[in-house]
Amino acid sequence: MDLQGIDAIVTLQSSVDQLASSKNERAQKAEQNALDWWSLAAIAPAIIILLGFLFLFFYGVFQSLTDLKFGRPVVRFIGFTNYEVAIKTQDFWNSVRATMAYACSAVLAEAFFGLAIAKLFASGVFLARLMRPVILLPLVLPPMSVALMWTTMMDPQIGILNYLLSLVGIGRFAWISDASTAMVSLVLIDIWTYTPFFALIIFAGLQGINDEVREAARVNGARGWATFLHIELPLIAPYILIAAVFRLIESLNQFDIIFGTTQGGPGDSTSVLSVRAYITAFQNLAFGRGAALMVVNWMIVLLGAFAVVRLWRLVRQRVS
Amino acid sequence: MHDFVVKDGKLETGLDSPESVAFHKDYVEMIKKCAAPSFANDNWYQVVDGINSGRTAMAIDSNMFGFWNNVAGKPASGKIAFAPPLRAPNGKNFESNIWIWSLAMNAASQKKGAAWLFIQWATSKQVELNGAVAGKLVNSPRASTWSDKVWLDYAAKPEFTNFVDTFKIVQDRAALAFTPRAGFAEAMNAWAVAMQKMVNGADVKATLTDLASEIRSSM
């Protein structure tokens, strides 16, 4: 047996195979490197729209670095002056506080009430079945209509809320007309409007829990409250947090409800950043300073959302 | 009292002057004692509603609030009277501010001729009179409207108690009390916020000092 010859044939054969495969690889690589014009054309509209949004955003950031003001013939680049001027005022920090207080308290309360309502839905009692479609109504109302409706209801003189309170012997409450109660009243409106959002998402999470898990807990002696606290709550925590991300972003940006009810007042007790930015830009006509306030608002939203998303990832990993 | 005074050839706010502080103390007290509890959120519509429904006893603003609600058939018809403002403690006469909505032409307009013709038509004697008689636009700035018999016969009806007499008295003394300047809206907003803070208990003198320095820094 000419083993050497066999070796030579095998070697030659493998070299031919290698040559062929390397040719295929080169062809594949060339194919991969070649621009797929059809795919690019298909996603081009999405890219153009995205660039359009980004352009507007960066244009807003650019405006915040200028002294753009109505009636000013020449617009100058002034760097971070608008930001420096803003952070030196007490009004700015008051707005930051108001924005954080509004968003954090609204989201926490909505998560709590949303969880309670979702549990009620999951129980399947008759009232819950009845309420399930009705509870969506506040969500589909335009926020400005919500604001006008609640402004009328919260009127200290002719509002229905004070009338209802008077029936149980409670005296006149100022609601949105007093600096000390205006913020609480606004949070109440936000809770009424957006709790159904939490309720729906948490309800979906509760529906996704396998009954076997609950059964196993029951077999191990866990009662209703313990099952909820130690089994259900950790499993639906990611759902609560993902709803919280969306609501936190919206609450930190909230404008319609606040402007439609108090316009930032009484005084500046509810003057959140978005309302102050609007008044600065469109009533005081100082567009540069207004844009700077909006950029600060955007940064707060970004940091807040980033923090909750990180928390959501941690919780999800733990649940997995 | 004016929003701005000229001092050494420069505009200066008088909001923190002793006279202004005294006035604001009175004004804040009056709001605390007499204004509707919802004053901080009230807009024109709520004031009109208050007058119309009888919940509001007095409104200091546009005369059309009262006029439109005095029209025959309205619940408050004939129950609203008009009076000129009171004079200041040391003043010989009352002062009244006038607020005028105007038509303006853009300097960059390419059709200035057409715009000028439109402005002349819209402010003509006939259109002003028609607006007053047919549209009940009661604030016509034209003297010809206020000497027209048809309009005067209507506006002097008993249900519009004192309307024509009051309008004529105020008309003689009314003037633009606001100083035209860039940043007017900003100062107005800042003053409104300061007023609400003072009504909510903030110290009047300190709030006006802060307000004046804020306005000075933006001038």
- For the cut 70, the answer to whether the pLDDT of residue A317 exceeds it is yes
Average pLDDT score, chain A: 88
% of chain B at pLDDT higher than 70? 99
Nearest by Cα to B215 from B25, B14, B8: B14
Query: Are A233 and A114 in a shared domain?
Result: yes
Residues A179 and A224 in one domain: yes
For residues A47 and A89, membership in a common domain is answered with: no
My answer on whether A155 and A21 are in the same domain is: no
Specify whether A221 is located in the same domain as A287: yes
Residue A206 lies in a domain: yes
CB A264, CB A275: distance < 8 Å? yes
pLDDT of residue A33: 67
pLDDT at residue A66, as a whole number: 95
**pLDDT for B151-169, tens place per residue?**
999 999 888 889 999 988 9
- The contacts of residue B105 (CB under 8 Å, 6+ apart) are B112, B115, B116, B119
> Considering chain B, what is the average pLDDT of its residues?
88
Q: A139-149: per-residue pLDDT in tens?
A: 999 999 999 99
Q: pLDDT by residue (tens digit) across B183-194?
A: 788 888 899 999
Asked if residue A30 is part of any domain, the answer here is yes
Sign of the torsion angle spanned by Cα atoms A198, A201, A204, A205: negative
> Across the interface, which of A172, A267, A279 has its CB nearest the CB of B200?
A267
The reply to whether A272 falls in a domain is: yes
Whether A22 and A144 map to the same domain: the answer is no
Give me the pLDDT at residue A19, please: 57
Q: Is the pLDDT of residue B219 over 80?
A: no
DSSP-derived 3-state class of residue A43: helix
pLDDT at A5 exceeding the cut of 60: no
Helix A233-252 vs helix A90-123: crossing angle, to nearest 10: 140
**Of the candidate ranges A152-166, A182-196, B67-81, B146-160, the one whose mean pLDDT is the lowest:** B67-81
Query: Do A56 and A95 have their domain in common?
Result: no
Residue B208 and residue B25: Cα distance in Å, rounded?
Answer: 10
- DSSP for A253-282, please give it: T--HHHHHHTTT-STTTT--HHHHHHIIII
Residues of B in contact with A157 (CB under 8 A): 36-38, 55
Instruction: With both helix axes pointing from N to C terminus, report the angle between A37-63 and A287-319 in degrees, rounded to the nearest 10.
Output: 130
Cα(B204)–Cα(B219) distance, integer angstroms: 22
For residue A237, tell me if it sits in a domain: yes
Summarize the confidence of residues A20-43 as an average pLDDT. Answer: 75
Which domain covers residue A46, as residue numbers?
3-63
A242 part of a folded domain: yes
Same domain, residue pair A53 and A89:
no
> Any idea what the CATH number is for the domain that residue A184 is in?
1.10.3720.10
Q: What is the mean pLDDT of residues B103-132?
A: 94
How far, in Å, CA of A46 to CA of B127, rounded?
53
Region B43-47 average pLDDT: 84
Residue A159: closest CA among chain B residues belongs to which residue? B38
Burial of A267 from C-beta contacts in 10 A (0-12 / 13-18 / 19+): buried
Selection from A254, A113, A114, A117 nearest residue A186 by Cα: A254
Do A174 and B186 lie within an 8 Å CB cutoff? no
Q: Are residue A170 and residue A293 in the same domain, yes or no?
A: yes
Structural domain includes residue A221: yes
Of B40, B55, B186, the CB nearest to A284: B186
Question: How many domains does chain A contain in total?
Answer: 2
DSSP 8-state code for residue B179: P
- What's the rounded Cα separation, in Å, for the pair A255 and A269? 14
The answer to whether residues A8 and A93 belong to one domain is: no
Let me know whether A106 and A231 are in one domain: yes
Interchain contact, A266 vs B41, CB within 8 Å: yes
Burial tier of B93 (Cβ tally within 10 Å: 0-12, 13-18, 19+): exposed
For the segment A85-141, what is each residue's pLDDT rounded down to a tens digit?
A: 999 999 999 999 999 999 999 999 999 999 999 999 988 788 888 888 888 899 999
Residue A276 lies in a domain: yes
The yes-or-no verdict on residue A223 having pLDDT over 90 is: no
Has residue A75 been placed in a domain?
A: no
Nearest Cβ partner for B38 among A157, A264, A285:
A157
Q: In terms of domains, do A38 and A169 share one?
A: no
